Amino acid sequence: MRIFSNLAISLDGKIATRSKKLVLLGTQEDHKEMQRLRKQADSILIGASTLRSFKKPNLVFGTKKQPINAILSSQLEGISPRWPFFQEPNLKRVLFVHPKTPVNRLKRFEKSSELIILRPPAPKRSAAIQIAQWFDSQGTKNLLIEGGGGVMWDFTQARLIQEYHVTLTPQLIGGALAPSLVDGAGFLPKHILKLKLKQYRVTQDEIFLIYVPAQNP
């Protein structure tokens, strides 16, 4: 299964401001690139923080068949089944949640979404590994990760992402509390993931980059 990511970042590597509110960093050209990559995906995964900011489904325009929309959330806190994400017809939704998620909260989403209860994480059984295994068992060929930084860390730490698509935008956000391309605990020096530039193109003030791991983990 191919697992690839796509996010737009500011020059200082941020994907949103410290307010965590939705910020559309890219231009129309970046939006076209996003649609191009979504058309390649059988499934799209985002984190709960991204959903709370956007509240809408991740759709491919101009086609009836849509990729599975999946969310990784610890306990579905601050998420409403009344959001447009859960109202879009003919869209398969999958929610990956922690085993301690309250039952009454799960019941609010059982009509609109398939609920996957993850097992407690372990070194060889992280959330990212469990999610990848589930998608693979469902026959998914192309899984697209669209953020946020927490989900990116989960999959990066597990060395699961095979292509990093990054749009570098001419903006500075700043702030120690602003989410970045990859958040989480971060790597110690000897474990830093090294990448290799596979492709790039410059369109006006934006740079579209594709990186792949420099070597197999």
- Report pLDDT digits (tens) over 137-188: 999 999 999 999 999 999 999 999 999 999 999 999 999 999 999 999 999 9
| Burial of 77: CB neighbours in 10 Å, binned 0-12, 13-18, 19+ | exposed
pLDDT of 136: 97
**pLDDT above 90 for 3:** yes
**69-94 pLDDT, tens digit each:** 999 999 999 999 999 999 999 899 99
CA nearest to 52, candidates 132, 150, 154, 184: 150
**pLDDT above 60 for 217:** no
Q: E strands of 74-162, at which residues? A: 93-97, 114-117, 142-145
pLDDT of 216: 55
CA nearest to 117, candidates 108, 102, 17: 102
Whole-structure pTM value:
0.95
Q: Report the pLDDT averaged over residues 202-210.
A: 97
SS3 of the chain: helix, strand, coil, percent, to 5: 25, 25, 50
Which of 3.20.20.70, 3.40.430.10, 3.90.550.10, 3.40.50.720 would CATH assign to domain 2-213? 3.40.430.10
